[in-house]
Amino acid sequence: MTVAERQQLLDDIARRDEIIARQAADILVLRQTIDALSRRIFGVSSEKLDPAQLEFMLGMETSAPASEKPGAIPETVQPDHRKKPAKQTRPPRIPEHLAVVTEVLDPPEVVLNPERFRRIGEEVREQLHFKRAEFIRIQLVRGKYVRIGDPVAKPIISKLPPSLQDRCIATPGLIAEVVDNRFVRHLPYYRQEEMLASMGVNIHRKTLCDWALLASDWISAIYREIQYEHWGATYRQIDETPIDYLKPGSGKAQTGYLWTSNIPGGTVLYHWRKGRDGGGITELCGPDPDDEEVITPEEFKALAAAILPQYRSGIVLQAFCGFRPEEVAPLKRKGMSKKSKRGIRREEIDWHLNVIRVPGEVTKTGFPRNVPLLPAAREWLEWAGVRPGQTGPVCDDNPVEAGETVRLGREVFKTGWPQDALRHSYGSYRNAMIRALPQVAEEMGTSETMLKQHYHNPKTKEEGEAWFGMLTSDLIRSKSDEIEVSARTFLEALTRTD
């Protein structure tokens, strides 16, 4: 390597060292700037820097604003006109609505000689007292009486007042307390049992649970009214919450679903379901009106006018008493009915007590039941030829075997005979009248769940009144009108021919 090349390499190294030193200085300044910015933004107030000092470190020239002159007086600080938060009024330590028990304390010398003293004022001190809950035994004493001078007369006694359940020792007030402690204050039944035992009354937790179940049965009417309101709502907000629950015998927790339905500005419906099957949607949203055939009063009148006389009693028992077709007159074809089954008989209709006593050999379930004989059913049964004092089957033959339903479906409904439409109509219109699904299910000989899924179509009370307010005179009048119209049409045709 020559001397010139060596000197050139040394010059290059010197230039690079100068560049590295310059870059190292820049890096140091940038690090200090970042550190200053971090302390300014994230540091505590004592560590924050003055903006001028930061600008000085960044190499920025600072100059006084043009408006500021040496010796100038600083502007007046503008006051803050924001309203101070109002202090919350402290509620009284002792509420004013509580009952007051006044105790007067006078000095002993005043009590002994009140005539020697004159009252000039008083000092009042108030304390808050708690009276522990207590149990009370209520005895209803009903005297038995006989008429004087009539020793053979039957003794008379007052009737017991209405109660939630016969022979139940708990009053509605006690049951309401149990329900309030369980579902409002979230006290388990075993804790309530301990609380009651400390007060000298031993009530088992199973009994407390039964009382809560009894209360739920009585307030179920309110739940059903809310449910019907949600079924008819055009807009709802629905959500579900998965909840694990214990199922005895399963060995592990099961998952259920608490559904919440909200009508904005209205009521809220809570519905518990163990699974996510289609039955839950039916109970939450109501049955599909297209799934259950329910006929109108006009359609029934047309059906009554067209049916043969020997089958009239059958459609009356289905439409106004909720009978199954096979309970009126069992099918005789092989495999369609059990040999021991028979239809309802005329002597099983109690016209005096207005009830139809259906024996177990007639019902589908095998258990007897009582069906109310409503005024509409009485009138239409008499129209069908069923009257007090008669015996024998109400209906001898089933219209299905005779092809009568095929003819009626073609002539009256045009689209065919609607299966179980009369029974469905009774369930829907009857529930619209009394709003009690358990009672309607008992009258029809089915379960409440089955009634909701297959035999129930929500109707209004006005529609129910129209169904059970149908009169046979309307049917007769419609026949007379039809004859009159036909006669008038015939006469007009003869006049035109002449």
List pLDDT tens digits, range 406-428.
Answer: 888 878 877 777 778 888 899 88
**Where does residue 75 rank: exposed (0-12), middle (13-18), buried (19+ CB within 10 A)?**
exposed
- Of 175, 187, 244, 246, the closest CA to residue 216 belongs to 175
> In whole angstroms, what is the distance from residue 260 CA to residue 280 CA?
12
- Do 270 and 198 lie in one domain? The reply is no
Is 138 contained in some domain?
no
Is 91 contained in some domain?
no
> In whole angstroms, what is the distance from residue 129 CA to residue 102 CA?
12
- Of 456, 457, 449, 458, the closest CA to residue 277 belongs to 449
- Do 315 and 436 lie in one domain? The reply is yes
Is 442 contained in some domain?
yes
Task: Give the phi and the psi of residue 486 in degrees, each rounded to 5.
Answer: -65, -40
DSSP annotation of 87 reads P
- Mean pLDDT, residues 157-178 taken together: 91
3-class secondary structure, 137: coil
- Do 361 and 436 lie in one domain? The reply is yes
Name the token pair of 216: 């739920």
- Mean pLDDT, residues 239-247 taken together: 89
Instruction: Print the domain residue range for 407.
Output: 297-480
- Do 281 and 213 lie in one domain? The reply is no
The listed range with the strongest mean pLDDT (36-50, 56-70, 98-112) is: 98-112
Is 159 contained in some domain?
no
- Do 49 and 195 lie in one domain? The reply is no
Is 136 contained in some domain?
no
> In whole angstroms, what is the distance from residue 101 CA to residue 131 CA?
12
Is residue 61 predicted with pLDDT exceeding 70?
no
Is residue 454 predicted with pLDDT exceeding 70?
no
- Do 351 and 242 lie in one domain? The reply is no
- Do 259 and 309 lie in one domain? The reply is no
Is residue 474 predicted with pLDDT exceeding 50?
yes
Is 491 contained in some domain?
no
Domain count, the chain: 4
- Of 440, 442, 427, 426, the closest CA to residue 380 belongs to 426
Q: How many angstroms separate the Cα of 432 from the Cα of each of 36, 91, 189, 251, 270?
A: 79, 49, 37, 43, 22
List pLDDT tens digits, range 346-360.
Answer: 999 999 999 999 998
